[in-house]
């Protein structure tokens, strides 16, 4: 563990804006649910709205990666913040005036999901320009901390605001957080895309990104793993967890405690990565994800609530550690001119199986009971981690500068 360098002012501005808008977005997770239910659309309507928010992210993330490598990434992020802020402001006004039709709620969710598709690849690509190589892990740990803390505290505050005011107030606050984020982004120096002798077409850029992605075995191995994990492990936990909590653990409050432990563990994992720099980051990251195995088994066996909470906390630590180290090794080992495209392929490949997983888990649980999908998810996580660790590039990967080539006599 080396001495910590101060965070640069541009990086502090980026973090301040990111934290602010992310906290507002997490507050709206509760407000959106209650807005849909209060409008009389029920659980099925809420599912449609959530799907409408996820599909544009998956559909457009590859195009977003190309644009983030072509254009100034700060500009892409400013445009997405402006669009999402305006969308949330209009939705807040609409909610203040009365009920909103389901199709309109789906449209606003789609705008937010589209903004997410463009924001994330630009963020991943911008960070290396705001810190040197030695500061990448710390920067990503702080970004991960913001995500974890927001997911822990944002919904809680959003729930209180909905209880004492209404969903429209929360959406109005979220719109304001996007404006604050944009102000902080204006204080970040404008990045300059890597000069290219000629501007290829969009499909050429996509092919180049794909070539860079598949040429790195350590990248596509981990992405393939998470495609499997998002098909089995994650949907089983998120879909069956609330049902088990309602049937055996005391209801929604218990599920809230479990998710709170996940969030707290993720915060702890992110803070750990601010100080601890492993020599072989992907080995540590992959081993950290193994904590999801006992978490899934404890839920499958309907263990006492304290045991499920404890294993959830450990799984959260693993998630926090993995997220930080994965972003760091991408930024340290992928050329900046293709980084956003490679990140987009990573996100696309990891998430594309999630909607199918959410569908299949209910079928499996109905056929063989709730324990089967959870145990299948635990086995998938264990076997996929073992498989990834057999890849030599994963085991050898570092974030240290590559050695200089020997001088030619």
* pLDDT tens-digit series, residues 369-386: 889 999 999 999 999 999
In a domain, 376, yes or no: yes
Check whether residue 258 and residue 122 sit in a common domain: no
Q: How many domains does the chain have?
A: 2
Q: Looking at the structure, do residues 46 and 174 belong to the same domain, yes or no? A: yes
Query: What is the predicted pLDDT for the residue at 199?
Result: 63
pLDDT of residue 192: 66
Lowest mean per-residue pLDDT among 7-11, 75-79, 199-203, 258-262? 199-203
pTM for the whole structure: 0.74
User: Residue 90: what pLDDT?
Assistant: 95
Task: Dig out the tokens for 315 from the structure.
Answer: 């799984």
Judge if 215 and 171 occupy the same domain.
Answer: no
6 and 103 fall within a common domain:
yes
CATH number at residue 30: 1.20.1250.20
In the prediction, which pLDDT does 408 show?
35
The rounded radius of gyration (Å) of the Cα atoms in the chain is 21
State the virtual CA torsion across 54, 57, 59, 64 in degrees, nearest 10.
180
Percent of all residues in the chain with a pLDDT value above 70, rounded to a whole number: 92
Q: Mean pLDDT: which of 16-20, 159-163, 186-190 is highest?
A: 16-20
Residue-wise pLDDT tens digits, 29-64: 777 877 877 777 765 676 677 778 878 888 888 888
Q: φ and ψ at 4, to 5 degrees? A: -90, 125
Maximum Cα–Cα distance across the chain: 78
**Inside any domain, residue 137:** yes
* Residue 149 confidence (pLDDT): 83
Contact call for residues 36 and 49 (beta carbons, < 8 A): yes
**Averaged pLDDT of the chain:** 84
Boundary residue ending a domain (159, 189, 219): 189
Q: 33 lies in a domain? A: yes
Distance of alpha carbon 141 from alpha carbon 360, whole angstroms? 34
Q: Is the pLDDT of residue 77 over 90?
A: yes
Residue 99: closest CA among 154, 10, 35: 35
Both tokens of residue 266? 């993720």
Q: Which is higher by pLDDT, 221 or 5?
A: 221
| Residues 6 or more apart whose Cβ sits within 8 Å of residue 226 | 349, 350
- Do 210 and 185 lie in one domain? The reply is no
**Range(s) of the domain holding residue 326:** 205-399
Given 162, 189, 216, the domain boundary residue is: 189
Are residues 332 and 308 located together in one domain of the fold?
yes
pLDDT interval class at 259 (50, 70, 90):
confident
70 near 338, Cβ under 8 Å? no
Instruction: Look at residue 79 and tell me whether its pLDDT is greater than 70.
Output: yes
Separation in Å, CA 75 to CA 10, 72, 118, 399, 408:
15, 5, 11, 28, 43
What pLDDT is stored for residue 407 in this prediction?
A: 37
Q: What is the DSSP letter of 211?
A: H
Q: How far apart are CA 175 and CA 157, in angstroms?
A: 16
Residue 110 and residue 214 in one domain: no
Whether residue 213 lies inside any domain: the answer is: yes
pLDDT for the residue 141:
82
Q: Determine, yes or no, domain membership for 198.
A: no
In a domain, 408, yes or no: no
Q: Which residue from 77, 164, 169 is spatially nearest to 126, judged by alpha carbons?
A: 77
């Amino acid at each position: 563990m080396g001495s910590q360098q101060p965070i640069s002012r541009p990086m502090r501005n980026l973090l301040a804006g990111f934290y602010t808008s992310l906290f507002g977005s997490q507050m709206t997770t509760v407000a959106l649910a209650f807005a849909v239910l209060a409008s009389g659309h029920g659980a099925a309507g809420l599912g449609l709205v959530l799907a409408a928010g996820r599909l544009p992210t998956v559909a457009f993330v590859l195009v977003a990666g190309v644009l983030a490598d072509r254009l100034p990434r700060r500009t892409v992020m400013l445009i997405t913040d402006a669009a999402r802020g305006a969308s949330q402001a209009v939705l807040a006004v609409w909610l203040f005036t009365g009920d909103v039709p389901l199709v309109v709620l789906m449209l606003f969710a789609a705008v937010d999901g589209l903004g997410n598709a463009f924001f994330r690849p630009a963020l991943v690509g911008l960070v290396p320009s705001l810190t040197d190589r030695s500061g990448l892990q710390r920067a990503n740990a702080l970004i991960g901390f913001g995500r974890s803390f927001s997911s822990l505290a944002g919904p809680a505050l959003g729930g209180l605001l909905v209880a004492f005011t209404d969903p429209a107030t929360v959406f109005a606050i979220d719109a304001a957080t996007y404006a604050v984020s944009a102000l902080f982004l204006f204080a970040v120096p404008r990045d300059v895309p890597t000069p290219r002798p000629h501007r290829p077409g969009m499909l050429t850029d996509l092919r180049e990104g794909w070539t860079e992605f598949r040429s790195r075995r350590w990248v596509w191995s981990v992405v393939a793993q998470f495609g499997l994990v998002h098909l089995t492990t994650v949907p089983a936990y998120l879909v069956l967890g609330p049902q088990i909590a309602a049937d055996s653990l005391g209801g929604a409050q218990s599920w809230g405690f479990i998710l709170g432990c996940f969030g707290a563990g993720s915060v702890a994992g992110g803070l750990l990565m601010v100080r601890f720099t492993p020599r072989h980051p992907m080995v540590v990251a992959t081993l950290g994800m193994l904590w999801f195995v006992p978490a899934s088994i404890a839920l499958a066996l309907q263990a006492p609530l304290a045991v499920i909470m404890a294993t959830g906390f450990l799984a959260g630590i693993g998630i926090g550690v993995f997220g930080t180290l994965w972003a760091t090794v991408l930024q340290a080992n992928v050329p900046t001119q293709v980084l956003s495209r490679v990140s987009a392929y990573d996100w696309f490949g990891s998430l594309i199986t999630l909607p199918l997983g959410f569908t299949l888990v209910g079928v499996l649980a109905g056929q063989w009971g709730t324990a089967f999908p959870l145990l299948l998810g635990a086995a998938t996580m264990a076997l996929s981690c073992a498989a990834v660790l057999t890849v030599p590039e994963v085991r050898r990967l570092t974030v240290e500068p590559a050695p200089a080539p020997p001088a030619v006599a």
